[in-house]
Amino acid sequence: MGLFNRHNPNDVLYLTPIQVENEQLPEDKIRVLYCDAKGNIRSAVIENSVYELAKSYVQERERAHKNYATLSIEITPGKSVPFAVEISSEQVYALGNILEHALKRRKLPDILKKYPKEIIRLGEGKREELKLQHAPAEHDTLSEATPEILNRLADYPEDSIEVAIPIYKAEYRYPLVVLKRLSPTEQTRPNMQRLLILDSDGDLAIIKVPLGTIDEAERAFAKWKKANNSAGCIIYSWYPDDFLMSHMEITEFQRKTLDMITQHFEETGRGEQPISADVQVILARARALKTR
C-alpha cells in the first residue's frame, strides 16, 4: 500500500563548484561537489541557471549577514532545485571542515557525518513551497551522481575555502593563538575577518571570525600592552555555548618566535612540523590560561 510513497528524497548539501581534469562541459553546465545526508561525497553536473539561482539565495543571506548553507531540494522524483538555509555557528564551523575533507580526502571522518544530515533537514520544510514555485520547470536540475569521477578530482578555486595547513583535521584544538589578520577573499562576508591562527596542537589554520569581535579584542590588547609595556598575543577560546577572545603575556623572544611562524607561512604557504620547544611553551601556557 505504501509502494508509491517517497520516504527518502534525494536532498543534498552543495559544497563548491569543481573542475575535473580533461573534462569539457558545455557552457551552460557546471560540476559541483556535494554531500548527501549519509556523509557520502559525490559530484554532479547541473545547469548554470541552477547555479545562478543558488547564488541568488546565498546573496540574500549575505545581505542579511546570516550564516548559510546551500541545498539541493528534490521537489519531485528526479527533479531538484537549490535553496539556501540559515545555519548555526557550530554548523558553519563544521561545514568548513566538511569542505576541507571533501576536497582533500574525498570522504568525511565519522565525527563530521552528523552535520550534513542536520543541515539538509533544515530545508525539508520548504519542499512544498519550492514545488509550487518551480512547478513549470521542464528540466532536472541535478544529474545522476558519478562517484568515480572523484578519483580524478583536479583543480578547484583555492580562495573558495579555508583549509588547515598542513594537516587536515576534523576539529581544531582550542585555545587558538591569533598570529595575523589576513586579507579578505571574494567569498569573505563584509562582517567577517580572516585570521591566521596556531591551534593547541601546533597546526596552522585560516579561520573566519566576526569583524567586531577581533576589532574589540585588538583594542583591549593594545590598551593592555601600553599599560604594561609588555609583549603578548591574542587567545581565542571556544566553548559549547560561547567563544571568547582574551590576551596572554609572553616574552619578547616568544613574540619573535610567533612572528617567525607567520613569516614562514607568508613565504611558503604552510607551517612547520614538528614545532619548536619555544612554541610548545607558548601553547602550554595558552592551554593553562583560565579565561572564564
Q: For the segment 214-232, what is each residue's pLDDT rounded down to a tens digit?
A: 999 999 999 999 999 999 9
Dihedral angle at the C-alpha atoms of 275, 276, 282, 287, nearest 10 degrees?
40
Which of 5-14, 180-189, 265-274, 278-287 bottoms out in mean pLDDT, i.e. has the lowest? 5-14
Tens digits of per-residue pLDDT, 114-161?
999 999 999 888 888 887 877 654 444 443 433 333 333 333 333 333
Mean pLDDT, range 231-256, rounded to an integer: 88
- pTM exceeding the 0.85 threshold for the entire prediction: no
Contacts of 46 (CB under 8 A, 6+ apart): 29, 30, 31, 32, 141, 142, 143
pLDDT of residue 19 exceeding 90, the answer is no
SS (H, E, C) 231-261: CEEEEEEEECCEEEEEEEECCHHHHHHHHHH
Going by the DSSP 8-state scheme, the letter that residue 48 receives in this structure is: H
C-alpha cell at 97: 571542515
Which is higher by pLDDT, 104 or 290? 104
CA–chain centroid gap for 10, Å, is 23
Mean pLDDT of the chain: 78
Going by the DSSP 8-state scheme, the letter that residue 153 receives in this structure is: B
Distance CA 185, CA 253 (A): 32
Distance CA 188, CA 220 (A): 25
| Helices of type H across 122-169 | 127-133
